[in-house]
Chains A and B, each alone.
Chain A
Protein backbone atom coordinates (compact mmCIF):
# COMPACT_ATOMS: atom_id res chain seq x y z
CA UNK A 1 0.00 0.00 0.00
CA UNK A 2 2.82 2.34 0.95
CA UNK A 3 4.71 1.20 -2.11
CA UNK A 4 1.73 2.07 -4.26
CA UNK A 5 1.53 5.47 -2.65
CA UNK A 6 5.19 6.14 -3.40
CA UNK A 7 4.79 4.95 -6.96
CA UNK A 8 1.74 7.10 -7.52
CA UNK A 9 3.34 10.21 -6.11
CA UNK A 10 6.51 9.69 -8.12
CA UNK A 11 4.47 9.27 -11.28
CA UNK A 12 2.64 12.48 -10.44
CA UNK A 13 5.93 14.22 -9.87
CA UNK A 14 7.41 13.05 -13.15
CA UNK A 15 4.28 13.92 -15.09
CA UNK A 16 3.98 17.33 -13.50
CA UNK A 17 7.61 18.12 -14.20
CA UNK A 18 7.20 16.95 -17.77
CA UNK A 19 4.25 19.30 -18.09
CA UNK A 20 6.29 22.11 -16.58
CA UNK A 21 9.02 21.60 -19.12
CA UNK A 22 6.62 21.32 -21.96
CA UNK A 23 5.47 24.82 -21.03
CA UNK A 24 8.99 26.07 -21.46
CA UNK A 25 9.02 25.59 -25.20
CA UNK A 26 8.16 29.24 -25.69
CA UNK A 27 10.68 31.47 -27.43
CA UNK A 28 13.54 32.62 -25.25
CA UNK A 29 17.03 34.03 -25.43
CA UNK A 30 19.87 33.73 -22.93
CA UNK A 31 21.63 36.95 -21.99
CA UNK A 32 25.04 36.67 -20.39
CA UNK A 33 25.29 39.69 -18.15
CA UNK A 34 26.93 41.01 -15.04
CA UNK A 35 25.92 40.92 -11.43
CA UNK A 36 25.50 44.70 -11.35
CA UNK A 37 22.59 44.65 -13.80
CA UNK A 38 20.92 41.89 -11.84
CA UNK A 39 21.72 42.86 -8.26
CA UNK A 40 20.58 46.43 -8.88
CA UNK A 41 17.21 45.10 -10.00
CA UNK A 42 17.43 46.90 -13.37
CA UNK A 43 16.78 43.92 -15.60
CA UNK A 44 13.89 42.63 -13.48
CA UNK A 45 12.35 46.07 -13.86
CA UNK A 46 12.75 46.67 -17.60
CA UNK A 47 12.54 43.18 -19.11
CA UNK A 48 8.80 42.50 -18.67
CA UNK A 49 7.93 45.33 -21.09
CA UNK A 50 10.08 43.77 -23.82
CA UNK A 51 8.92 40.24 -23.06
CA UNK A 52 5.27 41.22 -23.29
CA UNK A 53 5.48 42.99 -26.61
CA UNK A 54 7.93 40.60 -28.31
CA UNK A 55 6.80 37.30 -26.80
CA UNK A 56 10.47 36.49 -26.24
CA UNK A 57 11.43 35.32 -22.77
CA UNK A 58 14.75 36.84 -21.66
CA UNK A 59 16.79 34.54 -19.43
CA UNK A 60 19.58 36.37 -17.66
CA UNK A 61 22.68 34.61 -16.41
CA UNK A 62 24.43 37.08 -14.11
CA UNK A 63 28.13 36.44 -13.59
CA UNK A 64 31.30 38.52 -13.71
CA UNK A 65 32.13 40.20 -17.03
CA UNK A 66 35.09 37.88 -17.58
CA UNK A 67 33.00 34.74 -17.08
CA UNK A 68 30.14 36.20 -19.12
CA UNK A 69 32.47 36.74 -22.07
CA UNK A 70 33.90 33.23 -21.80
CA UNK A 71 30.42 31.71 -21.55
CA UNK A 72 29.41 33.67 -24.65
CA UNK A 73 32.51 32.44 -26.48
CA UNK A 74 31.38 28.90 -25.65
CA UNK A 75 28.09 29.70 -27.32
CA UNK A 76 26.16 29.55 -24.06
CA UNK A 77 24.27 32.76 -24.64
CA UNK A 78 22.73 34.79 -27.43
CA UNK A 79 23.45 38.26 -26.16
CA UNK A 80 26.26 39.72 -24.07
CA UNK A 81 25.50 42.72 -21.83
CA UNK A 82 28.60 43.73 -19.87
CA UNK A 83 30.81 46.64 -18.90
CA UNK A 84 34.43 46.30 -19.99
CA UNK A 85 34.79 48.13 -23.26
CA UNK A 86 38.31 46.96 -24.24
CA UNK A 87 37.38 43.32 -23.64
CA UNK A 88 34.10 43.80 -25.52
CA UNK A 89 35.86 45.29 -28.50
CA UNK A 90 38.32 42.42 -28.51
CA UNK A 91 35.37 40.01 -28.35
CA UNK A 92 33.93 41.57 -31.54
CA UNK A 93 37.32 41.89 -33.24
CA UNK A 94 38.02 38.20 -32.66
CA UNK A 95 34.77 37.36 -34.40
CA UNK A 96 32.84 36.10 -31.36
CA UNK A 97 30.39 38.99 -31.51
CA UNK A 98 28.58 40.69 -34.38
CA UNK A 99 28.63 44.34 -33.35
CA UNK A 100 28.92 46.30 -30.13
CA UNK A 101 26.42 48.98 -29.09
CA UNK A 102 26.68 51.43 -26.24
CA UNK A 103 23.66 50.99 -23.97
CA UNK A 104 24.06 53.01 -20.79
CA UNK A 105 26.53 54.06 -18.18
CA UNK A 106 26.79 54.57 -14.52
CA UNK A 107 29.87 55.25 -12.50
CA UNK A 108 32.17 53.64 -10.01
CA UNK A 109 32.55 54.94 -6.51
CA UNK A 110 35.22 54.29 -3.90
CA UNK A 111 33.63 53.25 -0.62
CA UNK A 112 35.23 52.76 2.75
CA UNK A 113 34.68 52.88 6.50
CA UNK A 114 33.13 56.10 7.81
CA UNK A 115 36.09 57.01 10.04
CA UNK A 116 38.29 56.85 6.93
CA UNK A 117 41.72 55.93 8.40
CA UNK A 118 43.44 56.78 5.09
CA UNK A 119 41.85 60.23 5.01
CA UNK A 120 40.64 60.25 1.40
CA UNK A 121 37.08 61.37 2.08
CA UNK A 122 35.65 64.04 -0.19
CA UNK A 123 38.30 63.71 -2.86
CA UNK A 124 37.52 63.45 -6.57
CA UNK A 125 40.78 62.09 -7.93
CA UNK A 126 40.55 58.29 -7.89
CA UNK A 127 44.23 57.81 -8.69
CA UNK A 128 45.36 60.05 -5.88
CA UNK A 129 43.00 58.29 -3.50
CA UNK A 130 44.35 54.86 -4.41
CA UNK A 131 47.91 56.10 -3.88
CA UNK A 132 46.95 57.22 -0.40
CA UNK A 133 45.42 53.84 0.32
CA UNK A 134 48.57 52.02 -0.71
CA UNK A 135 50.70 54.32 1.43
CA UNK A 136 48.44 53.92 4.44
CA UNK A 137 48.35 50.15 3.82
CA UNK A 138 44.70 50.04 4.87
CA UNK A 139 42.65 47.00 3.93
CA UNK A 140 41.21 47.09 0.41
CA UNK A 141 38.72 44.50 -0.83
CA UNK A 142 39.09 43.77 -4.52
CA UNK A 143 36.76 41.69 -6.68
CA UNK A 144 39.75 39.74 -7.98
CA UNK A 145 37.46 37.91 -10.42
CA UNK A 146 38.31 39.37 -13.83
CA UNK A 147 35.00 41.23 -13.86
CA UNK A 148 34.42 44.62 -15.47
CA UNK A 149 34.73 46.32 -12.11
CA UNK A 150 37.91 44.40 -11.36
CA UNK A 151 39.41 45.35 -14.73
CA UNK A 152 38.54 49.02 -14.11
CA UNK A 153 40.06 48.90 -10.63
CA UNK A 154 43.29 47.37 -11.93
CA UNK A 155 43.55 50.13 -14.57
CA UNK A 156 43.41 52.77 -11.83
CA UNK A 157 45.99 50.99 -9.67
CA UNK A 158 48.28 50.82 -12.69
CA UNK A 159 47.82 54.55 -13.34
CA UNK A 160 48.67 55.21 -9.70
CA UNK A 161 51.79 53.12 -10.12
CA UNK A 162 50.85 50.70 -7.37
CA UNK A 163 51.70 47.01 -7.81
CA UNK A 164 48.80 45.35 -6.03
CA UNK A 165 50.07 41.86 -6.85
CA UNK A 166 52.81 42.53 -4.30
CA UNK A 167 50.31 43.52 -1.62
CA UNK A 168 48.00 40.59 -2.35
CA UNK A 169 47.23 38.77 0.87
CA UNK A 170 48.47 41.78 2.84
CA UNK A 171 46.35 44.89 2.87
CA UNK A 172 45.08 44.08 -0.64
CA UNK A 173 42.43 41.35 -0.36
CA UNK A 174 41.06 39.68 -3.49
CA UNK A 175 37.71 38.05 -2.74
CA UNK A 176 37.32 36.33 -6.08
CA UNK A 177 33.57 36.93 -5.77
CA UNK A 178 30.81 39.11 -7.11
CA UNK A 179 30.28 42.76 -6.22
CA UNK A 180 27.80 42.06 -3.45
CA UNK A 181 29.94 39.39 -1.82
CA UNK A 182 32.93 41.75 -1.99
CA UNK A 183 30.93 44.54 -0.36
CA UNK A 184 29.92 42.10 2.37
CA UNK A 185 33.61 41.39 2.94
CA UNK A 186 34.45 45.10 2.95
CA UNK A 187 31.69 45.82 5.46
CA UNK A 188 32.87 42.92 7.60
CA UNK A 189 36.50 43.97 7.80
CA UNK A 190 36.09 47.72 7.41
CA UNK A 191 37.96 47.72 4.12
CA UNK A 192 37.86 50.12 1.19
CA UNK A 193 36.40 48.89 -2.11
CA UNK A 194 35.61 50.06 -5.62
CA UNK A 195 32.01 49.40 -6.64
CA UNK A 196 29.61 50.42 -9.35
CA UNK A 197 27.08 52.89 -8.06
CA UNK A 198 24.05 50.80 -9.03
CA UNK A 199 25.08 47.85 -6.90
CA UNK A 200 26.08 50.20 -4.09
CA UNK A 201 22.75 52.00 -3.94
CA UNK A 202 20.73 48.80 -3.91
CA UNK A 203 23.11 47.02 -1.52
CA UNK A 204 21.43 46.22 1.78
CA UNK A 205 24.35 45.50 4.11
CA UNK A 206 26.34 48.75 3.96
CA UNK A 207 27.17 48.70 7.66
CA UNK A 208 29.74 51.38 8.37
CA UNK A 209 30.67 51.85 4.71
CA UNK A 210 30.02 55.07 2.84
CA UNK A 211 30.98 56.70 -0.46
CA UNK A 212 34.32 58.48 -0.04
CA UNK A 213 35.45 59.29 -3.57
CA UNK A 214 33.19 59.97 -6.57
CA UNK A 215 32.87 62.17 -9.60
CA UNK A 216 36.20 61.47 -11.33
CA UNK A 217 35.54 61.22 -15.09
CA UNK A 218 37.82 58.18 -15.08
CA UNK A 219 35.21 56.40 -12.91
CA UNK A 220 32.80 56.41 -15.83
CA UNK A 221 31.40 52.89 -16.36
CA UNK A 222 30.08 52.15 -19.86
CA UNK A 223 27.81 49.18 -20.59
CA UNK A 224 27.76 47.62 -24.02
CA UNK A 225 25.57 45.02 -25.68
CA UNK A 226 26.69 42.53 -28.33
CA UNK A 227 24.95 39.81 -30.32
CA UNK A 228 26.95 36.59 -30.15
CA UNK A 229 28.09 35.62 -33.66
CA UNK A 230 25.74 33.09 -35.27
CA UNK A 231 28.60 32.23 -37.62
CA UNK A 232 30.70 30.99 -34.71
CA UNK A 233 27.74 29.37 -33.00
CA UNK A 234 24.88 28.35 -35.30
CA UNK A 235 22.71 27.76 -32.23
CA UNK A 236 22.57 31.48 -31.49
CA UNK A 237 19.06 32.90 -31.84
CA UNK A 238 20.19 35.82 -33.93
CA UNK A 239 16.76 37.22 -34.85
CA UNK A 240 15.42 37.22 -31.33
CA UNK A 241 18.73 38.37 -29.85
CA UNK A 242 18.95 41.26 -32.28
CA UNK A 243 15.33 42.14 -31.49
CA UNK A 244 16.31 42.46 -27.83
CA UNK A 245 19.33 44.61 -28.66
CA UNK A 246 17.25 46.80 -30.97
CA UNK A 247 14.72 47.30 -28.20
CA UNK A 248 17.40 48.06 -25.61
CA UNK A 249 18.88 50.85 -27.67
CA UNK A 250 15.51 52.10 -28.93
CA UNK A 251 13.88 55.18 -27.43
CA UNK A 252 11.55 52.94 -25.52
CA UNK A 253 14.28 50.76 -24.03
CA UNK A 254 16.41 53.77 -23.20
CA UNK A 255 13.47 55.46 -21.49
CA UNK A 256 12.87 52.31 -19.44
CA UNK A 257 16.50 52.35 -18.27
CA UNK A 258 16.31 56.03 -17.38
CA UNK A 259 13.14 55.61 -15.40
CA UNK A 260 14.49 52.86 -13.13
CA UNK A 261 15.11 54.23 -9.66
CA UNK A 262 16.13 52.91 -6.28
CA UNK A 263 15.51 55.04 -3.21
CA UNK A 264 14.70 57.88 -5.56
CA UNK A 265 18.06 57.68 -7.31
CA UNK A 266 18.60 56.95 -10.97
CA UNK A 267 21.07 54.07 -11.26
CA UNK A 268 21.82 53.87 -14.97
CA UNK A 269 22.02 56.59 -17.60
CA UNK A 270 21.10 55.59 -21.14
CA UNK A 271 23.52 56.74 -23.86
CA UNK A 272 22.85 54.56 -26.89
CA UNK A 273 22.59 57.50 -29.22
Chain B
Protein backbone atom coordinates (compact mmCIF):
# COMPACT_ATOMS: atom_id res chain seq x y z
CA UNK B 1 0.00 0.00 0.00
CA UNK B 2 1.97 2.97 -1.26
CA UNK B 3 -0.03 5.96 -2.38
CA UNK B 4 2.90 8.40 -2.39
CA UNK B 5 3.94 10.21 -5.55
CA UNK B 6 6.87 8.71 -7.38
CA UNK B 7 10.36 10.03 -6.78
CA UNK B 8 11.26 13.05 -8.79
CA UNK B 9 8.29 15.24 -7.90
CA UNK B 10 9.01 18.53 -6.17
CA UNK B 11 9.60 17.89 -2.49
CA UNK B 12 11.24 20.35 -0.12
CA UNK B 13 14.78 19.56 0.80
CA UNK B 14 15.89 19.80 4.42
CA UNK B 15 19.55 19.62 5.34
CA UNK B 16 21.32 19.72 8.67
CA UNK B 17 25.07 19.81 9.17
CA UNK B 18 27.14 19.63 12.34
CA UNK B 19 24.14 20.19 14.64
CA UNK B 20 25.23 20.08 18.25
CA UNK B 21 23.36 20.63 21.49
CA UNK B 22 24.92 20.05 24.89
CA UNK B 23 23.50 20.77 28.31
CA UNK B 24 25.46 20.49 31.52
CA UNK B 25 28.45 18.93 29.80
CA UNK B 26 26.28 16.18 28.27
CA UNK B 27 25.88 15.96 24.52
CA UNK B 28 22.20 15.67 23.70
CA UNK B 29 22.35 16.04 19.97
CA UNK B 30 25.26 15.57 17.60
CA UNK B 31 24.17 15.28 13.98
CA UNK B 32 27.07 15.43 11.54
CA UNK B 33 24.94 15.48 8.41
CA UNK B 34 21.33 14.71 7.58
CA UNK B 35 19.58 15.32 4.28
CA UNK B 36 15.86 14.78 3.84
CA UNK B 37 14.61 15.22 0.30
CA UNK B 38 12.80 12.09 -0.73
CA UNK B 39 9.04 11.76 -1.16
CA UNK B 40 7.02 9.93 1.44
CA UNK B 41 7.19 10.22 5.19
CA UNK B 42 10.47 10.08 7.01
CA UNK B 43 10.06 8.22 10.30
CA UNK B 44 12.44 8.91 13.14
CA UNK B 45 13.00 5.99 15.48
CA UNK B 46 15.12 5.51 18.52
CA UNK B 47 15.01 4.81 22.24
CA UNK B 48 14.05 7.37 24.85
CA UNK B 49 16.57 10.15 25.20
CA UNK B 50 18.14 9.44 21.83
CA UNK B 51 17.42 13.01 20.71
CA UNK B 52 14.44 12.39 18.38
CA UNK B 53 12.23 15.17 19.69
CA UNK B 54 15.20 17.47 20.05
CA UNK B 55 16.12 16.95 16.40
CA UNK B 56 12.55 17.69 15.36
CA UNK B 57 12.45 20.91 17.40
CA UNK B 58 15.80 21.98 15.97
CA UNK B 59 14.69 21.42 12.41
CA UNK B 60 11.48 23.40 13.14
CA UNK B 61 13.44 26.21 14.76
CA UNK B 62 11.82 25.87 18.18
CA UNK B 63 15.19 25.20 19.73
CA UNK B 64 18.37 26.79 18.54
CA UNK B 65 21.32 24.43 18.31
CA UNK B 66 24.58 25.41 19.99
CA UNK B 67 26.27 25.10 16.63
CA UNK B 68 25.59 23.79 13.14
CA UNK B 69 23.36 24.80 10.28
CA UNK B 70 19.96 23.95 8.93
CA UNK B 71 19.04 24.58 5.31
CA UNK B 72 15.67 24.39 3.71
CA UNK B 73 15.74 24.31 -0.09
CA UNK B 74 19.33 25.56 0.00
CA UNK B 75 18.50 28.58 2.13
CA UNK B 76 19.32 28.90 5.84
CA UNK B 77 16.31 28.31 8.06
CA UNK B 78 14.65 31.63 8.93
CA UNK B 79 11.22 32.94 9.82
CA UNK B 80 9.93 32.86 6.26
CA UNK B 81 11.13 29.28 5.84
CA UNK B 82 9.61 28.30 9.16
CA UNK B 83 6.30 29.71 8.00
CA UNK B 84 6.30 26.89 5.43
CA UNK B 85 6.59 24.32 8.21
CA UNK B 86 4.15 23.12 10.84
CA UNK B 87 4.34 20.90 13.86
CA UNK B 88 2.05 18.64 15.88
CA UNK B 89 3.02 17.73 19.42
CA UNK B 90 2.66 14.55 21.41
CA UNK B 91 -0.11 16.11 23.48
CA UNK B 92 -2.26 18.31 21.25
CA UNK B 93 -2.23 21.95 22.37
CA UNK B 94 -5.72 23.10 21.52
CA UNK B 95 -6.81 26.68 21.97
CA UNK B 96 -9.69 27.19 24.38
CA UNK B 97 -12.11 27.89 21.56
CA UNK B 98 -14.38 25.96 19.27
CA UNK B 99 -13.07 23.36 16.85
CA UNK B 100 -13.69 25.69 13.90
CA UNK B 101 -12.07 28.63 15.69
CA UNK B 102 -8.90 26.60 16.20
CA UNK B 103 -8.62 26.25 12.43
CA UNK B 104 -9.73 29.81 11.81
CA UNK B 105 -6.93 31.07 14.05
CA UNK B 106 -4.31 29.81 11.60
CA UNK B 107 -6.22 30.86 8.49
CA UNK B 108 -6.74 34.37 9.81
CA UNK B 109 -3.02 34.69 10.30
CA UNK B 110 -2.65 33.76 6.64
CA UNK B 111 -4.74 36.81 5.81
CA UNK B 112 -7.44 34.79 4.13
CA UNK B 113 -10.81 36.37 3.46
CA UNK B 114 -13.77 35.35 5.58
CA UNK B 115 -15.51 33.33 2.91
CA UNK B 116 -12.39 31.51 1.81
CA UNK B 117 -11.66 30.70 5.44
CA UNK B 118 -15.12 29.20 5.95
CA UNK B 119 -14.67 27.03 2.87
CA UNK B 120 -11.24 25.89 3.92
CA UNK B 121 -12.46 25.11 7.45
CA UNK B 122 -15.26 22.97 6.08
CA UNK B 123 -12.85 21.18 3.78
CA UNK B 124 -10.45 20.46 6.64
CA UNK B 125 -13.18 19.29 9.01
CA UNK B 126 -14.48 16.87 6.37
CA UNK B 127 -10.95 15.68 5.79
CA UNK B 128 -10.63 14.85 9.50
CA UNK B 129 -14.18 13.61 10.00
CA UNK B 130 -14.93 16.42 12.46
CA UNK B 131 -17.58 18.26 10.41
CA UNK B 132 -20.24 17.60 13.08
CA UNK B 133 -18.11 19.10 15.82
CA UNK B 134 -17.30 22.48 14.31
CA UNK B 135 -19.13 24.48 17.01
CA UNK B 136 -18.01 22.29 19.88
CA UNK B 137 -15.25 23.34 22.24
CA UNK B 138 -11.94 21.95 21.07
CA UNK B 139 -11.14 20.92 24.60
CA UNK B 140 -14.22 18.73 24.85
CA UNK B 141 -12.96 16.46 22.05
CA UNK B 142 -11.61 13.01 22.81
CA UNK B 143 -7.83 12.65 22.70
CA UNK B 144 -7.96 11.09 19.25
CA UNK B 145 -10.27 13.77 17.86
CA UNK B 146 -8.12 16.43 19.50
CA UNK B 147 -5.01 15.09 17.82
CA UNK B 148 -6.84 14.99 14.49
CA UNK B 149 -7.81 18.61 14.97
CA UNK B 150 -4.21 19.48 15.83
CA UNK B 151 -3.08 17.85 12.57
CA UNK B 152 -5.80 19.58 10.55
CA UNK B 153 -4.77 22.89 12.11
CA UNK B 154 -1.14 22.20 11.21
CA UNK B 155 -2.22 21.40 7.65
CA UNK B 156 -4.54 24.40 7.38
CA UNK B 157 -1.85 26.69 6.05
CA UNK B 158 -0.71 24.04 3.56
CA UNK B 159 2.81 23.59 4.97
CA UNK B 160 5.56 22.08 2.84
CA UNK B 161 6.98 20.23 5.82
CA UNK B 162 4.97 18.76 8.70
CA UNK B 163 6.75 17.64 11.86
CA UNK B 164 4.92 15.14 14.06
CA UNK B 165 6.23 14.27 17.51
CA UNK B 166 4.74 10.89 18.52
CA UNK B 167 1.22 12.01 17.64
CA UNK B 168 -0.34 8.60 18.33
CA UNK B 169 1.51 7.54 21.48
CA UNK B 170 -1.57 8.09 23.67
CA UNK B 171 -4.10 6.65 21.24
CA UNK B 172 -5.85 3.32 20.83
CA UNK B 173 -5.50 1.43 17.52
CA UNK B 174 -8.72 2.82 16.02
CA UNK B 175 -7.76 6.41 16.69
CA UNK B 176 -4.22 5.72 15.53
CA UNK B 177 -5.49 4.40 12.23
CA UNK B 178 -7.47 7.59 11.55
CA UNK B 179 -4.40 9.67 12.27
CA UNK B 180 -2.26 7.55 9.97
CA UNK B 181 -4.82 7.96 7.20
CA UNK B 182 -4.65 11.73 7.62
CA UNK B 183 -0.87 11.63 7.48
CA UNK B 184 -0.83 9.42 4.38
CA UNK B 185 -3.19 11.72 2.53
CA UNK B 186 -1.19 14.81 3.46
CA UNK B 187 1.94 13.11 2.24
CA UNK B 188 0.21 12.13 -0.98
CA UNK B 189 -0.71 15.76 -1.55
CA UNK B 190 2.93 16.70 -1.38
CA UNK B 191 3.60 17.63 2.21
CA UNK B 192 6.90 16.28 3.44
CA UNK B 193 6.25 14.36 6.68
CA UNK B 194 8.85 14.07 9.43
CA UNK B 195 7.50 11.95 12.23
CA UNK B 196 8.90 10.66 15.49
CA UNK B 197 7.46 7.39 16.71
CA UNK B 198 8.13 4.70 19.26
CA UNK B 199 6.08 2.22 17.35
CA UNK B 200 8.14 0.09 14.97
CA UNK B 201 4.96 -1.23 13.36
CA UNK B 202 3.89 2.33 12.61
CA UNK B 203 7.28 3.04 11.08
CA UNK B 204 6.87 0.00 8.84
CA UNK B 205 3.37 1.08 7.82
CA UNK B 206 4.14 4.73 7.09
CA UNK B 207 7.85 5.16 6.57
CA UNK B 208 9.39 5.72 3.16
CA UNK B 209 12.74 6.16 4.86
CA UNK B 210 13.87 5.70 8.44
CA UNK B 211 16.20 7.77 10.59
CA UNK B 212 17.48 5.90 13.64
CA UNK B 213 18.66 8.15 16.45
CA UNK B 214 21.08 6.64 18.97
CA UNK B 215 22.70 8.59 21.78
CA UNK B 216 22.11 11.92 20.06
CA UNK B 217 23.58 10.78 16.78
CA UNK B 218 22.04 9.59 13.52
CA UNK B 219 22.94 5.92 13.64
CA UNK B 220 21.37 5.01 10.31
CA UNK B 221 19.31 6.71 7.60
CA UNK B 222 18.03 4.43 4.84
CA UNK B 223 14.91 3.58 2.87
CA UNK B 224 12.47 1.73 5.07
CA UNK B 225 12.57 -1.70 3.47
CA UNK B 226 16.37 -1.81 3.62
CA UNK B 227 16.36 -0.61 7.22
CA UNK B 228 13.97 -3.23 8.40
CA UNK B 229 15.24 -6.15 6.21
CA UNK B 230 18.98 -5.62 6.52
CA UNK B 231 19.85 -3.24 9.32
CA UNK B 232 23.50 -2.32 8.99
CA UNK B 233 24.53 -0.41 12.08
CA UNK B 234 24.91 -2.13 15.41
CA UNK B 235 22.48 0.34 16.84
CA UNK B 236 19.81 -0.58 14.32
CA UNK B 237 20.30 -4.24 14.94
CA UNK B 238 20.12 -3.70 18.69
CA UNK B 239 17.04 -1.47 18.37
CA UNK B 240 15.14 -3.82 16.12
CA UNK B 241 16.27 -6.63 18.39
CA UNK B 242 14.42 -4.94 21.22
CA UNK B 243 17.06 -2.94 23.09
CA UNK B 244 15.40 -0.35 25.31
CA UNK B 245 18.41 1.85 26.02
CA UNK B 246 21.45 2.65 23.95
A touching B, CB within 8 angstroms: no
